[in-house]
Structure 1
């Protein structure tokens, strides 16, 4: 069974890496509105990759605008990784 990556996982990783307060229903808020820039997003992707054993291409997060988008990208990579493994 493939482990799923959820909003709780993302919240924890964002707080550990970039800090900030994430409260309420923020899944569809833009990262910009939440105060996270592209560098924070790259760092978050790097942390996720290390923790979950994933490698993301440089362009993996280009179209990611919201936490929900990022969770979907990570879960797609997890499924792909499990299918190869």
Structure 2
């Protein structure tokens, strides 16, 4: 199982699941999802893909509260760390 989720992982998953956005080129970590053209429904689809690929379940409210890619990456990594430390 993966132990880290990166911005590159997120970029790939966003493109695969919700289509390409010019905003995903370059440094997109701190650009709000809304500005990038991704609405909450697209993010929920993204979290479904993250769950299938990385094995973590994210709280829907926490996902909606994550307004930038970096915040979502941090949320996934926190969940991965918690899963790794669980007995």
TM above 0.5, yes or no, is yes
Q: Distance in 2 between matches of 1:62 and 1:83?
A: 25
Structure 2 residue corresponding to 1:48, chosen from 47, 50, 60: 50
Match of 1:67 in 2: 69
TM-score (normalizing by structure 2): 0.90
- The 5-angstrom pairing of residues 28-47 of structure 1 reads 28-47=30-49
Match of 1:58 in 2: 60
Q: Shift of residue 20 of structure 1?
A: 1.7
Q: Shift of residue 3 of structure 1?
A: 1.6
Q: Shift of residue 10 of structure 1?
A: 0.3
Check whether the contact 2:33–2:69 (CA below 8 A) recurs between aligned residues: yes
**Which runs of no fewer than 5 residues in structure 1 stay unpaired?**
none
Aligned residues: 85
Kindly report the root-mean-square deviation, in angstroms, between the aligned alpha carbons of the 2 structures.
Answer: 1.6
Per-residue Cα deviation, 1:48-76 (whole angstroms, up to 9, x for no partner): 01111112223231310000000000000
Q: Does 1:81 align with 2:77?
A: no
1:60 alignment partner, SS class: helix
**Which runs of no fewer than 5 residues in structure 2 stay unpaired?**
none
